[in-house]
Structure 1
Amino acid sequence: MAAQTTIRRKLRARRKVRVAAGERPRLSVFRSSKHIYAQIIDDASGTTLASANSSVLKTGTKTDTAAAVGKALAEAATAKGVKQVVFDRGQYRYHGRVKALADAAREGGLDF
């Protein structure tokens, strides 16, 4: 039952992102029990423009590490000239580590 709920949430979030992602790259988030990964993907060409993960950036708690990943991703994206993205949280609720990553990416200069 829980797996069905997770799949439905993931598909619902992706459907909303797909509508908005026509002209902007997508900031995709993957969260595991230990690490968090984020990448900016250009769906038109199928390429990854920038990426960051917590396996390299260990700082304090998991939430602090997620914020560091968001900041590093924003710096890498602005270096490539990307300012506007669509946030794709996937199946994860906008809470805790995912929210910390998004807030830090916004502070770093990304607009979504």
Structure 2
Amino acid sequence: MSTKASTQRRAQRVRRQLKKVAGERPRLSVHRTSKNIYVQVIYDKQGRTLAAASTLEAGFRKEGKTGADTGAASAIGKLIAERAKEAGVNEVVFDRGAYIYHGRVKALAEAAREGGLTF
């Protein structure tokens, strides 16, 4: 099995488990690359993105930061928590995708919790 296929299977396995426990809560989905990190709050029942943030945004780029460290992930976690609260979302389920809960993914999740999201 190829690396891409196994990664997709892992992500689908995580999402399948999330759907069992999610109920009406939206999903906080994380995607990371070697240079950036992206996060979205997605309401799957309607297929809508309620809030999004990434290290590619103009305000983040002006500061000269790179998106490849835990500091950037923490900043994005706080930003998504603010935007989710503005959209009226307080509770989410955390979708780590195919990534292990470690490093930048963990830093983003903890910052989102500190920002007021519960999951």
Judge same fold: TM > 0.5, yes or no: yes
C-alpha distance in 1, partners of 2:91/2:69? Answer: 26
Residue 2 of structure 1, CA deviation: 6.0
C-alpha distance in 2, partners of 1:35/1:87? Answer: 19
Letter in 1 for 2:96: R
Q: Does residue 27 of structure 1 match 2:34?
A: no
C-alpha distance in 1, partners of 2:73/2:92? Answer: 18
Matches within 5 A, 1:1-112: 1=1, 3=3, 4-56=5-57, 57=60, 59=65, 62-112=69-119
Q: Which runs of 5+ in 1 are unaligned?
A: none
Letter in 1 for 2:91: Q
Residue 15 of structure 1, CA deviation: 1.4
Residue 21 of structure 1, CA deviation: 2.2
- Could you list the runs of 4 or more consecutive aligned residues of structure 1 that deviate by over 3 angstroms after TM superposition? 58-61
Letter in 2 for 1:64: G
- Secondary structure of the residue that 2:42 maps to in structure 1? strand
After TM superposition, the structure 1 stretch with the greater mean CA deviation from structure 2, 17-26 or 96-105, is 17-26
TM-score with structure 2 setting the length: 0.86
C-alpha distance in 2, partners of 1:52/1:80? Answer: 13
C-alpha distance in 1, partners of 2:9/2:44? Answer: 22
Letter in 1 for 2:79: A
Q: Which runs of 5+ in 2 are unaligned?
A: none
RMSD of aligned C-alpha atoms? 1.6
Question: Number of residue pairs matched?
Answer: 112
